[in-house]
A and B are shown apart, each in its own frame.
Chain A
Amino acid sequence: MEVPILKQGPYLIASIQSALSDEDLVQLRDALVAQVGKLRSRGVIVDVTALDVMDSFATRTLRDIAHMIRLRGAEMVIVGIQPEVAFALVRLGLKLEGVATALDLEEGILYLNRKMTESGKKR
């Protein structure tokens, strides 16, 4: 199942709706990396609220996507990691290093807004 990507102001929001096959994940990665350039987005939110399992492949792919988005000059934040999933991730030893996370969509947008003002001040 393809992940819908919505444009909201300077941001892109990808809401994962159900369990993703590897192909879906790779498609999400390619779509986000392309869209960030095309729409000149400053930030990306990936909502994983609907994911009941995040295994090592899914986690690594999401981490890769976050790094690629940063290389494209935008920020990415993962929102909605469920408590059970967080517990499993810690037990597995998956760290999501260098990837921003936030509780939910609202917090994710606040995080990106903060990032935008920070980088604005620096200029």
Chain B
Amino acid sequence: MGDDRHPRTLRTTASHHAARNRIEGRPEGNDTVRVPIKSDRDIIFARQKGKEMASKLGFSSTDLTLIATSISELARNIVLYANTGEIILGTVHQGEKRGLSVVASDEGRGIPDIQRALQDGFSTSHSLGLGLPGVRRLMDEFEISSEINRGTTVSVRKWVP
């Protein structure tokens, strides 16, 4: 089962474009999958793809569910708040460690107050407000950057235990 061995990171970047470039500047192997998100059906596809990749990396079935749930929340936010965007799935390495990286990126309205958006129960859509804070708990690393009217990028990772 998931545990708290890995520290969670939260980095908030003022400039969305700086973060985006950094993410896109990462070396991309041929194991990167980009899933365009345009409707709620794409949410299902994105989490299935994520599960597939994570399963190849050797994650436990509990971790697969945590990863798929996270992808679902991030993709749903794109559909709800930005209409369109994409989910970029990739494998990441750090020394011996291997993991899955999920980047949810859009060019929507952006988030005015990131700290608030990360609080349990905060929602501008009368929804549960558990998406972002929940994903932060489900994954090992969490990075978010957003700029008003420019877009939002949430980048998360989970390491194979």
Contacts and interface: CB of A to CB of B under 8 A. Distances in A.
Interface of A: 19, 21-23, 52-57, 59-60, 82-85, 87-88, 91-94
Contacts of B131: 56
Contact of A92 (B44, B47, B68, B138): B138
Given A21-B44, A60-B128, A91 B76 contact: no
Interface of B: 1-2, 40-41, 44, 47-48, 51, 61-62, 64-66, 68-69, 72-73, 76, 120, 127-128, 130-131, 133-134, 137-138
A53 B68 contact: yes
Contacts of A87: 1-2, 62, 65-66
Contacts of A53: 47, 65, 68-69, 72
A66 B84 CA distance: 31
A94 B128 contact: yes
A83 B72 CA distance: 18
B66 A56 contact: no
B95 to A, nearest CB: 27
Decide if the interface of chain B is mainly helix, strand, loop or mixed.
helix
Nearest to A22: B40
The 7 closest A-B pairs by CB, nearest first: A92-B134, A84-B65, A55-B72, A22-B40, A88-B69, A53-B68, A84-B62
Contacts of A83: 62
A93 B130 contact: yes
B40 A88 contact: no
Nearest to A85: B65
A22 B127 CA distance: 14
Nearest to B138: A91
Contacts of B73: 55-56, 92
B108 to A, nearest CB: 18
12 contacts: A53-B68, A53-B69, A53-B72, A55-B69, A56-B73, A56-B130, A60-B128, A82-B65, A83-B62, A88-B138, A91-B66, A92-B138
Nearest to B76: A57
